[in-house]
Amino acid sequence: MQTITRRRALGLGAGAFVVLAVGEAAVATPAESDAEIAKFTGGKAPEPGKIAIDLPEIAENGNTVPLSITVDHPMTADNYVSDILVVADGNPRPGVALFHLTPLSGKATAATRIRLQATENIIVVAKTSGGKFFTDRKQVKVTIGGCGG
């Protein structure tokens, strides 16, 4: 029988602690937010550009961060921005909001207030009625996280 040495016991304990710590944090990884975007675009790679994201550079309070999005695209009856997906790659879950617009919107714009856990990227993907995808991202530095623990 193999005896468990003191060193080995300590190692096991440390390993268990690491696993626990990772389990506790449960932060969305960039891979998860990429998966969320792929689900939205149906695997298509969105083109960069056309989107203006208005977010503070530094958010002191992650509980409420103003976000404003404008897509530089016409809103006519047969050519308009139909959906805008917002994803945060450092939140416990990547999804933030999915806006649906119509030609009655007049302008491809939306604003709300969001929660951010830590310094992370906000990724916006817009879908047009013609099936085109545009994307842009912006990093926000967060002083106090707003997702609770």
Looking at residue 57, its amino acid is E
Q: Which residues pair with 70 in a beta bridge?
A: 52, 109
Token code pair at residue 50: 């056309």
**Closest distance to other proteins from the beta carbon of 135 (Å):** 18
**Taking CB under 8 A as the rule, does residue 129 contact other proteins?**
no
Least Å from the CB of residue 129 to other proteins: 14
By CB under 8 A, residue 105 contacts other proteins: yes
Measured CA to CA in angstroms, residue 132 lies from 5, 45, 48 at distances of 61, 10, 11
Residues 21, 88, 123, 82, CA torsion sign:
positive
Told to check if 138 binds other proteins by CB under 8 A, we report no
Q: Which of residues 41-100 bind other proteins (CB under 8 A)?
A: 63-65, 68, 75, 88, 91-93, 95-100
Q: Map tokens 């550009």 to a residue.
A: 49
**Of residues 4, 12, 16, 111, which one binds other proteins by CB under 8 A?**
111
The answer to whether 128 and 81 are in contact (CB under 8 A) is: yes
* Least distance (Å) between residue 146 CB and other proteins: 7
List residues binding other proteins (CB under 8 A). Answer: 63-65, 68, 75, 88, 91-93, 95-107, 109-116, 146-149
